[in-house]
């Protein structure tokens, strides 16, 4: 599966919010849509989901104009939207029915997801009796119960403790393995970096960087080595390196990337090395560079 936004433009009044956004996401892979608040991420998502139309441009699914009657979306919004006073099971079934499921199939799917997420005991309880993290898991069921082809997760890890975050990670990996298109939108760069094969950064209504994340990183100069060792002080003195944030870490800048092998050999032969690797910028570093 493949979904594409091609030259999407959108204005509200005289303000042009999207200025020709183009991006593509594929099944079996996670795609990260990044940008500062107001950059155009949410507008792009809403146009993708047919909440409102673009002024121009097109959305393609499998290379053809998307037919929203046959393509199912699952959406976990940043602003949660369930009914706090209603029983959890009832409203989950209701939302699944809105997505076209028969009631019996919806009930079966909801029960399966509640069991999968360790929430079966809360089926008959009101949503407002749950913790924020458990409410988040219930909201996730609304995004997945109808078995959508395209899953959009907006700040999915917000409010989750480490145990529930790990559970959500497992669920997301399962959906990716099933060939789903999974689109992340988040400011938590560590999760995007962990999951996403490709990214697009939107700034000022335009895509300013897109592509495979590992290729983007490899395009940065590869002339720095990160070394971890109990002898970092000596290494820094001998190689003109700079000590990094951690005491056992030193950064060595090479005259040329081609010197990498030679310097690595000198380090491993002369010092007790715990780890040595070519420095690559983090996604957070890249985001700050392109979204400032």
pLDDT category of residue 233 using cuts at 50, 70 and 90? confident
Q: d(Cα 71, Cα 60) in Å, to the nearest integer? A: 11
Q: d(Cα 199, Cα 193) in Å, to the nearest integer? A: 9
pLDDT at 109: 97
Helices 132-144 and 88-98 meet at what angle, rounded to 10? 30
pLDDT category of residue 245 using cuts at 50, 70 and 90? low
pLDDT category of residue 75 using cuts at 50, 70 and 90? very high
Mean pLDDT of the chain: 92
Spatial CA neighbour of 142 closest among 109, 118, 167, 166: 109
Average the pLDDT over each of 38-42, 111-115, 245-249 and give the range with the smallest value.
245-249
Question: Helix, strand, coil: what percent of the chain each, to 5?
Answer: 40, 30, 35
Q: d(Cα 272, Cα 231) in Å, to the nearest integer? A: 7
Cα 169 off chain centre by? 11
pLDDT category of residue 76 using cuts at 50, 70 and 90? very high
Q: Answer whether 34's CB lies under 8 Å from 201's CB.
A: yes
Average the pLDDT over each of 102-116, 127-141, 149-163, 243-257 and give the range with the smallest value.
243-257
pLDDT at 159: 79
Instruction: For residues 206-214, give the mean pLDDT.
Output: 95
As given in the structure block, the two tokens for residue 119 are 């929430």
pLDDT category of residue 132 using cuts at 50, 70 and 90? confident
Spatial CA neighbour of 119 closest among 61, 154, 181, 167: 167
Strand partners, 8: 21
Helix/strand/coil for 138: helix
Q: d(Cα 152, Cα 104) in Å, to the nearest integer? A: 26
Spatial CA neighbour of 98 closest among 141, 45, 142: 142
pLDDT for 229 beyond 80: yes
| H-type alpha helices, 120-188 | 132-144, 162-177
């Amino acid at each position: 599966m493949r979904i594409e936004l091609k030259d999407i433009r959108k204005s509200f009044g005289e303000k042009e919010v999207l200025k020709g956004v183009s991006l593509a996401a594929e099944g079996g892979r996670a795609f990260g849509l990044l940008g500062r608040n107001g950059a155009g991420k949410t507008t792009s998502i809403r146009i993708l989901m047919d909440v409102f139309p673009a002024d121009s441009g097109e959305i393609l699914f499998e290379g053809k104009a998307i037919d929203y009657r046959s393509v199912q979306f699952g959406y976990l919004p940043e602003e949660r939207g369930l009914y706090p006073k209603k029983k959890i099971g009832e409203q989950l079934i209701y939302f699944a029915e809105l997505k076209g499921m028969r009631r019996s199939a919806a009930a079966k799917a909801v029960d399966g997801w509640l069991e999968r997420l360790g929430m079966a005991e809360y089926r008959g309880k009101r949503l407002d009796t749950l913790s924020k993290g458990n409410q988040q898991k219930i909201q996730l069921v609304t995004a997945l119960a109808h078995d959508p082809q395209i899953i959009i997760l907006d700040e999915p890890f917000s409010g989750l403790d480490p145990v529930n975050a790990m559970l959500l990670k497992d669920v997301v990996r399962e959906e990716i393995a099933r060939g789903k298109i999974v689109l992340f939108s988040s400011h938590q760069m560590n999760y995007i970096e962990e999951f996403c094969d490709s990214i697009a950064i939107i700034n000022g209504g335009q895509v300013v960087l897109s592509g495979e994340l590992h290729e983007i990183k490899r395009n940065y100069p590869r002339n720095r080595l990160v070394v971890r060792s109990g002898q970092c002080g000596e290494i820094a003195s001998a190689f003109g390196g700079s000590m990094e944030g951690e005491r056992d870490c030193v950064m060595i800048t090479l005259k040329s990337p081609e010197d990498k092998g030679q310097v690595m050999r000198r380090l491993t032969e002369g010092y007790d090395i715990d780890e040595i690797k070519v420095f690559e910028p983090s996604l957070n570093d890249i985001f700050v560079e392109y979204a400032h």
